[in-house]
Chains A and B, each alone.
Chain A
Amino acid sequence: MQDVWKTYPDGSHALRGVSVLIERNEFVYLVGPSGAGKSTFMKLIYREEVPTKGQISVNGFNIGKLKPRKIPYIRRNIGVVFQDFRLLPKMTVYENVAFAMEVIEAPKRMIRKRVMEVLELVGLKGKVNSLPAQLSGGEQQRVAIARAIVNNPAVIVADEPTGNLDPETSWGIMNLLEEINFRGATIVMATHNKEIVNTLRKRVIAIENGVIVRDEPRGEYGYEI
């Protein structure tokens, strides 16, 4: 990311000249007060927003200049996880995950195999036919993570993945994300969870008012809640 500015149509500057390099296979926490620009930072990575100024490349693609037609293809290499899970309520666990593979037109047999594989990884093999509403919050987030990683993306973007979960469940999710990071994916995670950041030490990037104020290799959360 080089000198990235993002100004919303209402005139507010969400990001003001942000430059940062995140290496392959890094695990990065994005911290900062609400409204500081964390979400915008994430949205720029998966190209839901376009920078007003500056350049962003992900996996070597200049995302800002991408033709709209190409957007779906770069998104297949980025897995996104949200605070509110965003599962399709009328599809089963299996269908929710398989869906991401159907989109890339993978052969059916491969889908079956790979979906079962990731569901085993996230520990939900026994709940393939449940609907999201029948699962706990932690389980739903696991489904969302399974969907994010099913296509083996190089980057996982997680926007407060533990925001809606109790501490114990949150640790389960963190172990899962670490495991995924260990297997080779780059992880960018926005969080307000001080305990996690201070215990599971990783690189910490702090954003305030659209500017990076701190960037430490094995940083601390640094804010009092």
Chain B
Amino acid sequence: MRFSTLLRHLREGSLSLARNGWMSFASISSIAISLFILGVFLLLSLNVNNLTKQLENQVQIRVFLDLEISQAKIEAIGRSIGALPEVSRIRFVPKAEGLEMLRRNLGEDGQGILDDYDDTNNPLPDTYTVEVVDPERIAEVAAKIQEIGDADPDKPIRSVRYGQGTVELLFRVTNAVRNIGLIIVLGLAFTATLLISNTIRLTIFARRREIGIMKLVGATNSFIRWPFFIEGALIGFIGSALTTALLLAAYNWLVQSLQVEFGLMMIRLVTVWESGLLVGGVLIGLGTAIGIFGSALSVRKHLKV
């Protein structure tokens, strides 16, 4: 193809966007609206994803040590646990700190209950708090830690707790939420694709005469196709860029105004800066691709004359 022909196609593609004003408007709004809904769900599922990850990361293992073991043994156990590749962080919580934490957790109502206890008669054991690399494999890691204790003849580890049962349930819920989010997003993407390519098919159907005339004067199929390609790409790009701009602006406003409220609930929203590239990329990429493929497919049907 000559360079001048490419220029001609570019010019012709953008010109016919303007010439077919209403049809272009219909296609662009169809893209914008479908992708907007998709974008809303995308942001929603990003946040849900983020939230579940936060929840999952709060899951930790507590290793209760035997009351009567030496300081050396405590340190040795700590080293063995820390050496496990699945463990990301380990923190020693001496019994005094444990008592303090318990007091705090009981709050004002339970103030009196623990008053009789101090460093001399502390009934609590020393503990290790262990965080794991992959929270989903927490049960496995807990079992390994238990094995470390069992291997020692003194049985220095009394018990290993990670909220058995509750944690498994949490993971089941978060995984379900994530999968449902993914299915909704995929379903919406599919619907958007159908909707948009249908609109584009209509606009091209309205121009089948034009295609017929082009063929009559001896235009090759690729010559006919190119301007439609470019037009489709422009329609897709404009529609999705509009949507992205609107969506991110609205989301940014939402995040800013809800920041304080959600912050108090210990929920951190995904910021525009973290999600913008992904959401924008998905929407604009999808929109442009649908624009191109939608028009390419529809033109193809009319080329077989």
Q: B209–A86 contact, CB under 8 A?
A: yes
Stretch with Cβ within 8 A of A (4 or more), from B77-85, B123-131, B186-194, B213-221: B213-221
Residues of A76-124 whose CB lies within 8 A of B = 76, 80, 86-88, 90-91, 99-100, 102-105, 107-108
A91: B residues at CB distance < 8 A: 19
B213: A residues at CB distance < 8 A: 86-88
Interface mask (B16-38 → A, CB under 8 Å = 1, otherwise 0): 10011000000000000000000
Q: B216–A80 contact, CB under 8 A?
A: yes
Q: B217–A105 contact, CB under 8 A?
A: no
Q: A102–B8 contact, CB under 8 A?
A: yes
Q: How many A-B residue pairs have CB under 8 A?
A: 49
Q: B8–A73 contact, CB under 8 A?
A: no
| CB nearest neighbor in B for A153 | B218
Q: A76–B8 contact, CB under 8 A?
A: no
A76 to B217, CA, bound (A): 6
Interface centre among A90, A103, A147 (most CB of B within 10 A): A103
Q: A99–B217 contact, CB under 8 A?
A: yes
On whether A108 and B4 interact (CB within 8 A), knowing A72-B219, A103-B214, the answer reads: yes
How far is the CB of A204 from the nearest CB of chain B, in Å? Answer: 26
Query: Which bracket fits the contact residues of A?
Result: 20 to 34
**Interface residue A202 (Cβ < 8 Å from any Cβ of B):** no
B147: A residues at CB distance < 8 A: none
A73 to B223, CA, bound (A): 12
On whether A72 and B209 interact (CB within 8 A), knowing A48-B305, A105-B5, the answer reads: no
Interface mask (A42-54 → B, CB under 8 Å = 1, otherwise 0): 0000101000000
| CB nearest neighbor in A for B19 | A90
* Set A72, A88, A90, A108: member contacting B218, Cβ < 8 A: A72
**Interface residue A13 (Cβ < 8 Å from any Cβ of B):** no
A104 to B4, CA, bound (A): 12
Q: A76–B4 contact, CB under 8 A?
A: no
A103 to B227, CA, bound (A): 12
| CB nearest neighbor in B for A77 | B218
| CB nearest neighbor in B for A75 | B218
A100 to B2, CA, bound (A): 16
**Interface residue B210 (Cβ < 8 Å from any Cβ of A):** yes
Interface centre among B20, B215, B219, B221 (most CB of A within 10 A): B219
Interface centre among B214, B216, B221 (most CB of A within 10 A): B216
